[in-house]
Structure 1
Amino acid sequence: MLVWGVRFLAGLSLSTPSTALLWSALALSIVTVPSAVVTTREGWEPLLQGRRHDDRRRRPPRIARFPKVSIHVPVHAEPPEVVIATLDRLARLDYPDFEVLVVDNNTEDPELWRPVEEQCRRLGGRFRFFHVDGITGAKAGALNWVLPHADPAAELIAVVDADYHVEPSWLQDTVGHFAEPRMGFVQAPHAYRGHEGSRFATWANWEYAVFFRTGMVSLDRHGAGLTVGTMSLIRTSALVEAGGWAEWCLTEDSELSIRIHALGYHSVYLTEPYGRGLVPPTFEAYRRQRFRWTYGPVQELGRHGRLFLPSFLGGRGSELTRSQRLHHANHGIDVAGIGVRAIALGLGVAGAGSMVIHDEVVRMPFELWLGATASLLGSWVLRLLVHRRVVGASLGQAVGATLAFASLSLVITVASLRATCGVPAQWHRTTKFRPRSSALRAIRGASTETLTGSALLALGVALLTSASGGSGLVVMVAIALFAKGLVFLSATAMALMADRDLRRAVVRPQVEFESVAA
């Protein structure tokens, strides 16, 4: 379609402003295609290749000895009952040699951290609690601060978020991978609990699952797996050699995987969850989390770009394989491409406006309508197949996950643009507190999406009513605006749905879940 589009635009006779705007939009679209192809294949690869994930890499050799594991639990202003439940689960680990270090980072209210300190005392000598003020660097700063306090004999460092309920078999089933001397880290997927009574949380849960069942599996196949902030098991020497956690990066977890792989260490991604956390209770918290996850990869690309380049282009030497360079680089390039595509859409809209102003009419050939329609329908079918065949979602769950992802479109675009342009951003934790229901707060939390979506719908109507003679190209741009506007307005629906679930008090954050073995 891009080749056809070039030939089509080349044959048009339009005013200079219209021509320049349309060519600029097409050029930006072409720039993002290679990265989009890599990302699309990462998402579709598990579907295209079935169940050919290398089980031998996921099944470690039998444990000949039990290396000491230091489990680090960073905490900041969390509900004490949530953290205590996490610690109680860690106390049940079926593993003979581990310690748990809880680092409470800058929590001002003693009512939040003193119960956790007392619980560590009750759980015995394996558990140590640190309340520290003045730590900078957010979660990465807390993890760096606590690292020197780990037992010197600890060969492995584990990271567990404050809300995760860990399976007793987690360490027993995974440390065997480190029998390979160059194994740098072993990562289990994010998974969630307590969402069954909330439609918002359930749809968000299935939206999360797509990446961990597709993209993460594909990255692992290419040796470019990521650490993802919790349920991570890292070789201590690799972490120290890499320089610790990156306090400058909003995704300090995935950034670390680049530096560990650059040192020549390997990694393994496990497809079965060994722990489950809580879904953000509100849409506002959900979107803040996704802002951070989007912004960080562009920071990684900016800091480590030379690692991904060949030497003749000024690349910096490392142990990264060609495949690792491609996929680690694309992790940031694809995110930056989201913002570039948004700019391309803006240029296309400006081009359509210019055509209206200059009273220019371009009839759209049947080939373009057919190609665009087939591309859109094919994308939907493949998305549905991924949800059904790879993720294991029902049709309703797949639709819900798609709506949940659509609701994040604007914040993802904004984060991409801000990161690409170097606009500073702060690290925000994902709250575990369940707020009171407030429809006004819910609407305010999605106000940017609501206003932007409404504006795009209005602009689409304006283009349609202004198009001279029903210009096909202007109509197509108007349809794109309608579609994008509806996508953005899905955030309003998700925000109100989350608030409705809070009002009905159906979110049950402490619900137990079946074990992996069961």
Structure 2
Amino acid sequence: MRAVVAVLVFVTAAHAAIWGIFREQQQAPDFRGILPSVSYAPFDGTGHPDVDNIPNAERIRSDLKTLAPISRAIRLYSSTGGVELVPPIAGEVGLKVTVGAWIDKNVDRNEREMLSAIDLVKHNSNVNGIVVGNETIYRGEQKVEDLIKLIQRVKGQVNVPVTTGEIWNIWLEHPELASSVDFIAAHILPYWEGFSDTKAVDQALIIYQKLRDAFPGKRIVIAEFGWPSAGYNLKDAVPGPFEQAVTLRNFVNRAEAVGMEYNIVEAIDQPWKFFEGGVGPYWGILNAAREPKFAWSGPVVDPAYWKLAGIALLVGILLSTPILRLAQPSAMQSFLLSAAAHGVGAWVATVFAYWTGHYFVFGSALALTLGLILLVPLVLIAMARIEEIAAVAFGRAPIRLLKKPAATLAPPPTVASPPLALAAAAPSADMVQAEAGEAGAAAGAAADAPKMPKVSIHIPAYFEPPDMLKQTLDAVARLDYPNFECVVIINNTPDPEFTQPIQDHCRELGERFKFINAEKVEGFKAGALRIAMERTAVDAEIIGIIDADYMVEPDWLKDLVPAFDDPRVGLVQAPQDHRDGDRTLMHYIMNGEYAGFFDIGMVQRNELNAIIVHGTMCLIRRAAMEMVGGWAGDTICEDSDLGLEIIEHGWLTHYTNRRYGYGLLPDTYEAFKKQRHRWAYGGFQIIKKHWRRFLPGASRLTPDQRREFALGWLNWLGAESLGVVVAILNLIWVPIVVFADIAIPDKILTLPIIASFVVTLAHFLVLYRLRVNITVPRMLGAMIAAMSVQWTVSRAVAQGLITEHLAFARTSKGGFSLMSVEFQAFWEAVIGVLLLVGAAVLVASNAYKEVHEIYIFAAVLVLQSLPFLAAVAIAILENSRINSFAFWTNTGVRTAELIGLRPVALPKTVPAAMPAPQPVASEIHRDTV
């Protein structure tokens, strides 16, 4: 434990050191003077001035008192709607005012604006000029000649300089405009031209000189210069608090040095300007709370930096504390878990900084809130997967697995294998603390005088191919165990072609085999199994369950039944496996996908006595089954439901990852998806049925068991459902980004999705390489198969939310099902293609702006399309030639012949004089049969 604590302290210290190393501090020229002018709009909040954002005298007076020590003058952009209150109040605090008259296409409003501006000049001696229109030509609101007429009209009625505010290039393109004004009011905003903050000041001075050269002798005022403190980049122009501070401090010093007249845009952040893109609200040198964003002298630093560092460290420490509860964690395991916890802490601090440093209108606040709500479970899922990676890669080896003694793993054919030894372990549940020593003693006693309690094997069948079921029964008959019976129950199958051959075969196999043909059975498979229990021998102590397609190994019962010598053991589970994985390439990768659950997830869950019961290859103590009420018919996953009931009542469970039975894979991709849909829907039914028992004191579940089941459901049902929900929401958001140019998802929302995908990919690849004995190509195929059912699982969860019961759908096996004529990934194809199209549209629309967040958003859409496209790929593969192994074999042969690695096999010719041999009668008979 000391080593673990040392690791946690080390990671925390390293995290703090990283914050210290990356603390940004920039140098910029000090400015200790007073700004000549700043742009001021007396509006507050996020409401548009034309709607409900009317300023009042108290707010204006407070603002101007704040600005008076900073600037000698202010520039206004309109003269109505409450702005007319500003000049007289500015006179009270000694501020000069450049009045603005807002000009657009509204003739009546233009008239009111000009008359109000003229009136303000006449009644306020502190007004030093009028700006008629702001970027009116650039916005296409007026023609140049019409604007000149308005300027001349105002000039004729006032005795202060009159001009218009325009982007610098408009002045160069329309020299007649410059001739009509008293001075040139040029806007130079390098951000909007895509210049980086390091080039912004140089660019401004170059343009200033161009204007001086173009209009010698004319008074030139840089009426707008600024840099945003937040928002999205535009090409090389990156907004930010450091960039704003350094750029403005550099600019004012160099402007003062050359005697430039200038106005800084703007005094106070205007959150209502969200329509001007991501940077619109963030041009102020004061934030919306009227607080300075930066200091005009000394190093440029983030004053809230260490607060954020403290939040990151605190969250990291809190998320690391559960490591102390792990049973003997290794140093590397603790390091990986703690590093992940502190990574989440850094993300939380970043989210906090974003939330406190941005302004939100209703839509963007809703989008951010919804995004964070969806990301929290996504982050929890990623943390759970990292925990499993750490446990498998660096934790202790599994110690509760049932396994054969080393000396008898490969016995000679003539020597019977002794029973499995129970591994010494100390699970967390109170009732299993003494399991280690007792397990060894039980194993030794079993070896000396093996107990042979009677086992009743139940095989439910529903329209199963008779030949396949006969193979299952023959394998049961070969069991190397003297004391068992087999109850075969065929339910709701009135066709005698399915029932009569099995009844006859049971008679041939002997009195151990009982045949039941039950019609009109209710409760799906559980109803059939309840009938089987009624026909079970009274002296049977253990119930074995196998599916109708499973061929069991002879030593299944002999190896696993001794585990029940411990009276606390209620259930023993063996893994599923399949004997037809080489039927096609699709079946090959499907079988690899199944293997991951049984070699990774089940092994880890077994360490905490929290396995998921999956029906076939399962042995259950009869007393445990009767204690929990037997098979329940209110879910379509009756096996997992019963297993959880048994665990909730305090029984021990055991698992072995050794294969004792081999079944058949689903015939088609359609059957594969239907099976996964049934599992997911049944799993959600179980959640709704059992969630109350996960409350403290509601059952005998230990905290570890509660956590394992909850995270397991979240990791499976939640991850797949969240993936689909987030993908669809992102797809809906694409047109908002493209056409509205607002609410682009920030990196705090998109990068966690990418990180989660990377964690999921690493989780799959690392754990498969460490635990699953399959080739790399098969592993990659298994990954595609696992991704391909995301839509299927999410549909099952959605149906589980709105429905109570769906009919049990039998999985078609044995090669007797017909291929559906429908394309089995239609909706996946639609969503996958739309996601790719959305990504392409984002990239194309971003060609000019080159906003980084849009590219990241597009990358997220591409990643989110992969599960949907995986389903499309398998659906296409199923009906293609490449699904056949013969195709690959023939292709390999042809390739080898083409490159000369093997001689070309020429067809043999039969001499013309010799007739082709005719088959004999027996051969003809054999071929036709």
Contact persistence 1:335–1:416 (CA under 8 A): no
State how 1:143-292 maps to structure 2 within 5 Å. Answer: 143-292=529-678
* Counterpart for residue 765 of structure 2: 384
Choose 1 or 2 for highest CA Rg.
Answer: 2
Name the CA shift for 1:74/1:15 in 2 (closer, same or farther; >3 Å): same
Answer with 463-472 or 388-397: which moved more: 463-472
| Pairwise CA distance, 1:50 | 5.8
Pick aligned residue for 1:488 from 835, 850, 868 = 868
Contact persistence 1:336–1:416 (CA under 8 A): yes
* Counterpart for residue 414 of structure 1: 795
Contact persistence 2:382–2:756 (CA under 8 A): no
Pick aligned residue for 1:300 from 666, 683, 686 = 686
Letter in 2 for 1:66: M
Contact persistence 1:107–1:133 (CA under 8 A): yes
2-structure distance, mates of 1:449, 1:363: 24
2-structure distance, mates of 1:19, 1:131: 62
Name the CA shift for 1:248/1:6 in 2 (closer, same or farther; >3 Å): farther
Name the CA shift for 1:465/1:13 in 2 (closer, same or farther; >3 Å): farther
| Pairwise CA distance, 1:208 | 0.5
SS state of the match for residue 490, structure 2?
Answer: strand
* Counterpart for residue 724 of structure 2: 342
Contact persistence 1:120–1:128 (CA under 8 A): yes
SS state of the match for residue 398, structure 2?
Answer: coil
Residue 360 (str. 1) matches residue 742 (str. 2): yes
Letter in 2 for 1:319: R
* Counterpart for residue 7 of structure 2: none
1-structure distance, mates of 2:387, 2:523: 35
* Counterpart for residue 257 of structure 2: none
1-structure distance, mates of 2:524, 2:743: 55
* Counterpart for residue 838 of structure 2: 459
SS state of the match for residue 94, structure 1?
Answer: coil
SS state of the match for residue 522, structure 2?
Answer: coil
Residues 379-436 of structure 1: per-residue CA shift (max 9 Å, x gap) = 4344222112211222111111111111111111212222234464322111114257
1-structure distance, mates of 2:751, 2:857: 16
* Counterpart for residue 701 of structure 2: 320
| Pairwise CA distance, 1:284 | 0.3
Contact persistence 2:492–2:521 (CA under 8 A): yes
Structure 1 or 2: larger helix share? 1
| Pairwise CA distance, 1:337 | 2.1
SS state of the match for residue 479, structure 2?
Answer: coil
* Counterpart for residue 514 of structure 1: none
2-structure distance, mates of 1:394, 1:67: 40
* Counterpart for residue 451 of structure 2: 65
| Pairwise CA distance, 1:488 | 0.7
Name the CA shift for 1:257/1:236 in 2 (closer, same or farther; >3 Å): same
Residues 188-227 of structure 1: per-residue CA shift (max 9 Å, x gap) = 0111112124211110111001111111011110111121
Name the CA shift for 1:358/1:263 in 2 (closer, same or farther; >3 Å): same
Answer with 496-505 or 114-123: which moved more: 496-505
Q: How many residues align?
A: 499
SS state of the match for residue 95, structure 1?
Answer: coil
Answer with 485-494 or 398-407: which moved more: 485-494
* Counterpart for residue 372 of structure 2: 26
SS state of the match for residue 425, structure 1?
Answer: coil
Contact persistence 1:282–1:499 (CA under 8 A): no
The percentage of aligned residue pairs carrying the same residue is 32
Question: Structure 1-normalised TM-score?
Answer: 0.88
Name the CA shift for 1:445/1:379 in 2 (closer, same or farther; >3 Å): closer
2-structure distance, mates of 1:38, 1:114: 50
Name the CA shift for 1:210/1:29 in 2 (closer, same or farther; >3 Å): same
2-structure distance, mates of 1:127, 1:56: 29
| Pairwise CA distance, 1:346 | 3.6
* Counterpart for residue 46 of structure 1: 392
1-structure distance, mates of 2:882, 2:543: 37
Residues 259-305 of structure 1: per-residue CA shift (max 9 Å, x gap) = 10121110000110100111111100001111111122221111111
Letter in 1 for 2:867: V
> Greater RCO between the two (CA within 8 Å, min separation 6)?
1
* Counterpart for residue 824 of structure 2: 445
SS state of the match for residue 192, structure 1?
Answer: coil
- RMSD of aligned C-alpha atoms? 2.8
* Counterpart for residue 498 of structure 1: 878
* Counterpart for residue 75 of structure 1: 461
1-structure distance, mates of 2:545, 2:476: 12
* Counterpart for residue 515 of structure 1: none
| Pairwise CA distance, 1:6 | 4.5
Residue 121 (str. 1) matches residue 507 (str. 2): yes
Letter in 1 for 2:362: T
Contact persistence 1:44–1:386 (CA under 8 A): no
1-structure distance, mates of 2:795, 2:604: 27
SS state of the match for residue 663, structure 2?
Answer: strand
| Pairwise CA distance, 1:15 | 4.4
